[in-house]
Structure 1
Amino acid sequence: MSRNIEVVVVGGGYAGVLAANRLTQRRDVAVTVVNPRSVFVERVRLHQVVGGSHRGVVEYRQVLGERVGLVVDTVTRIDACARSVALASGGTVGYDYLIYAVGSGSAAPHVPGAAEFAYPVATLEEAQRLREAVEAAPAAAAITVVGGGSTGIEIAAELAEQGRRVTLVCGGLLGPYLHARVRRAVARRLARLGVTVLEGPDAKVTAVTRDAVRLSGGNALPSTVTIWTTGFGVPDLAARSGLTTDASGRLLTDETLTSVDDARIFAAGDAAAPSDRPLRMSCQTARPLGAHAADTVLARIAGGRPAAIDVGYFGQCIALGRRAATVQLAAKDDTANKYSIGGRLAAGIKERACQGVVKELVEEARKPGSFSWQFKDDKRRGLLRAEHRTTPAAP
């Protein structure tokens, strides 16, 4: 009897779980997910974890297929030559193929005092720790949210809706992804919730202390709880393992998501850099990349030719408290346009989207290969062709 083909998926987020479930289309493939937590984290709900309105976790047995194994541990090194991964517990797991889906976390802040006194919020543990800090603070305590992206907006709105006194410090623009028209609508909603929004060059954070945030314009904001939402970083596992990465540490791949170093290693999700042109870090990107990485592995096993990625976008959903949201619509190449949906209708869309991504994982576990992505981006392929034509051939 021939042995099973062993596939290890490093990381159990949206990309990793979808990839693992999809791989079980073949009965001769044995899939193992290695993840440091024993529960699946709904990262799209971390702002609700901070606000106390959701736990933000699902049991893995609800979203992983029956034939997918789970090892609760941390991969410390990938040995491409030996085709194995080393675990923090001291053991190793061998593989024939490996999918690198380690996701992302908080980027190390470079502002003095931020690492010591500000609360990051990119992981479940960080969100839970922040929730405890908010609950311990007096009801009238000043809360400062640093970062005007979607995470900062969602957390500021969530806490302000509960009656907290919140200042959102953007540094640059509020919601830089948003179209100007949609940005104004979001600003109006935040104002109605009582959020003070500080934008522009005078609103860059220069230092954080235990009870204040100092700005480039010279002001110092009293702050009992300072929340840091600027920037995401990826684990350095690929770089530490001697694999080629981009400048931010993402695993460098071709357009099929195959590592440029090793035809048996593939990447998906936030830590993938196809053609050194990484896509937006988001659940919206992770799911189709996870599916595509699995399809590439299956094509390699079958001796076929893997397809290039074709991932497009519809826009971005941003919660503005429990009773409102904005859905910023965009072109398939992720360029925001002037159209949006707001209010309670958008809040319903946001909630259904959060529920829907978990349902997709469950459905892929039940019926591997069922996930499909209807948004395609033709522009990316054209840009890559143009770059190829203008790049001189290597000697």
Structure 2
Amino acid sequence: MSENTEVVVVGGGYAGVMAANRLTRRGDVTVRLVNPRGSFVHRVRLHQLAGGTGDAVVAYREVLAGSVELVVDSAARIDAPRRRVELASGGTLPYDYLVYAVGSGSADPGVPGAAEHAYPIAGLEEAQRLRPVLDAEPATAPVTVVGAGPTGIETAAELAELGRAVTLVCGRVLGPYLHPRGRRAVAGRLAALGVRVLDGPGAQVTEVTAGAVRLADGRELASRVTVWTAGFAVPDLARRSGLRTDALGRLLTDETLTSVDDARILAAGDSAAPSGLPLRMSCQAAMPLGARAADTVLARIEGERPAPLNQVFAGQCISLGRRTGIFQFSHRSDVAVGVHLDGRPGGRLKELVCDSVVKQLSGEAAKPGSYKLHRVPGGSARRKALRGGQGTALPAAEPAA
């Protein structure tokens, strides 16, 4: 290997920016970040952008270390044998190590009419597309939000607080991750906002038209605007590049986040599947994974043994309009417990968390190595138990010389 180490980070979201910033700890490492747009997207605020109550775009100069070269382009293919990234523009980027952090986006709904008539909001352009559609409709026009995870709940609450007539179609359960106590609190707040919540086995969407949503139990809901928040997918870049993935397309790695096919390739964030047991898609997981992937690269450069994944969770926070929210506490293993904080205190905590995400990225950019949350103890034992029960740890590729 040459005296200088070249690292390419593919994807400029939470995991990619954290990894890129952390890699600047060494002056002999050149870091290039490949991202299709020239601004950072704060995805946890996309429902605000769609509703017109806030923004979700942050300039990279606020979160990315100045020594990181931003390449505004898309990765078309990873040529692992030649250690280079082929770009959509036709250029190539060589690397000694690559961090795969392509994130996630909207999944194919798989429901007749949904692709044509429903509006997903998992990405910036999708949220920007939805906003003028909502603005063009009167407040009395019926809006249907499909999907009762955090994005669906937040979107329904945001629009209802603006005076919209909103129906939230859950599929089965409102807030599947939430503890029953937290679920009741969310249901109460949505009811106070006037959101009509449909759950149970019959509340599964079977068809979307230009003016209606049809459910499995035969009900037909008038819907001038249908917002689709059910399900996420990951880009197929790894699969197209001949790297092994799980069924969803996440790159398979060992517990150091090293690809099972190539020790020069690491994965982090929503597009990583450590030991075939991926973590919940969230910025809460993405940033520690980005830091862990960077630490693995740095350990390899220094000839040291990289530490295994040690991911712990605190809970899940959901905004319920601009003033209230809920923080659902959990075990470190990401299982909800019967304790939550809701109302205005929950809303303030949610805003604090959202603001702290940008501050943590900025802090790592200013002082690489200062981020410590991926080293909080308590996650490795849970990972070992999962590998022994639900999945099989996959062998990693041998480190390259």
TM-score of the alignment, normalized to the shorter chain, above 0.5: yes
1:384 aligns with 2:387: yes
Give the whole-Å Cα distance in 2 for the aligned partners of 1:389 and 1:27. 38
CA apart distance, 1:316? 0.2
**Which blocks of at least 5 consecutive residues in structure 2 are unaligned?**
395-401
Name the SS for the 1:99 alignment partner. Answer: strand
Measure, in 1, the Cα distance between the counterparts of 2:389 and 2:128: 46
- SS of residue matched to 2:78: strand
Which residue of structure 1 lines up, in the alignment, with residue 227 of structure 2? 227
Q: Aligned residue for 2:95?
A: 95
Indicate the residue corresponding to 1:179 in structure 2.
179
Report 1:114-263 matches (<5 A).
Answer: 114-263=114-263
2:365 aligned with 1:365, yes or no?
yes
Distance across 2 between alignment mates of 1:386 and 1:251: 21
Q: What is the rounded CA distance, in whole Å, between the counterparts of 2:204 and 2:356 in structure 1? A: 37
1-structure distance, mates of 2:190, 2:249: 35
Equivalent-residue separation in structure 2 for 1:278 and 1:388 (angstroms): 11
Give, in angstroms, the shift of residue 387 of structure 1.
6.8
Partner SS for 1:16? helix
- Is 1:266 aligned with 2:266? yes
Q: Which residue is 1:51 aligned to?
A: 51
Separation (CA, whole Å) in 1 of partners of 2:49 and 2:13: 17
Q: In structure 2, how many angstroms separate the alpha carbons of the residues matched to 1:57 and 1:389?
A: 39
Q: Distance in 2 between matches of 1:126 and 1:279?
A: 25
Instruction: Provide the rounded CA distance (Å) in 2 between the counterparts of 1:380 and 1:290.
Output: 18
On the 8 A contact 2:387/2:393 being kept in 1, the answer is: no
User: Which amino acid in structure 2 is aligned with residue 331 of structure 1?
Assistant: H
Residues 159 and 77 of structure 1, relative CA distance in 2, 3 Å threshold: same
Point out the more displaced range, 221-230 or 375-384. 375-384
Q: Distance in 1 between matches of 2:12 and 2:251?
A: 17
Alpha-carbon distance in structure 2 between the residues aligned to 1:381 and 1:297: 22
Work out whether residues 272 and 278 of structure 1, in 8 Å CA contact, stay in contact via their aligned partners in 2: yes
Aligned to 1:329: 329
The CA distance in 1 between the partners of 2:63 and 2:147, in whole Å, is 32
Q: How much identity, in percent, do the aligned residues show?
A: 64
- Greater Cα offset, 49-58 or 30-39: 49-58
Is 1:238–1:249's contact at 8 Å kept on the other side of the alignment?
Answer: yes
Q: Hey, what's the Cα distance between the residues in 1 that align with 2:391 and 2:61?
A: 44
Query: Could you tell me whether the CA contact under 8 Å between 1:268 and 1:293 is conserved in 2?
Result: yes
The DSSP-based 3-state class of the residue aligned with 1:201 is: coil
- d(CA) in 2 for partners of 1:376 and 1:312? 6
Equivalents in 1 of 2:112, 2:377: separation in Å?
42
Aligned alpha-carbon RMSD (Å): 1.4
**Paired residue secondary structure (2:174):** coil
- Tell me by how many angstroms 1:381 deviates: 2.0
**Stretches (4+) displaced over 6 A:** 387-391
The answer (yes or no) to whether the contact 1:21–1:64 under 8 Å persists in 2 is yes
Indicate conservation of the 8 Å contact 2:166/2:196, yes or no: yes
User: Does structure 2 conserve the Cα–Cα contact (< 8 Å) formed by 1:313 and 1:375?
Assistant: no
Amino acid at match of 1:249: G
- Residues 105 and 375 of structure 1: is their aligned pair in 2 closer, same or farther, counting only changes over 3 Å? farther
**Aligned residue identity for 2:185:** A
User: For the structure 1 residues 386 and 143, does the alpha-carbon distance in structure 2 shift closer, same or farther, using more than 3 Å as the test?
Assistant: closer
Q: Post-superposition shift, 1:66?
A: 1.3
- Cα displacement string for residues 71-97 of structure 1 (whole angstroms, at most 9, x for unaligned residues): 000000000011101111111111010
**Separation of aligned partners in 2, 1:327 and 1:349:** 7
Change (3 A) 1:390 1:116: closer
Per the normalisation by structure 1, the TM-score is 0.97
Q: State how many pairs are aligned.
A: 390
Q: Determine the C-alpha separation between the residues in 1 that align with 2:122 and 2:99.
A: 22
Secondary structure class of the residue paired with 1:270? helix
1:98 shift after superposition: 0.2
Cα distance per residue 1:101-146 (max 9 Å; x no partner): 0000000110000000000010011011111111111121000000
**SS of residue matched to 1:380:** helix
> Which residue in the other structure is 1:82 paired with?
82
Deviation per residue, 1:196-226 (Å, 9 max, x gap): 0000111110000000000111111000000
Q: Tell me the secondary structure at the aligned position of residue 312 of structure 1.
A: coil
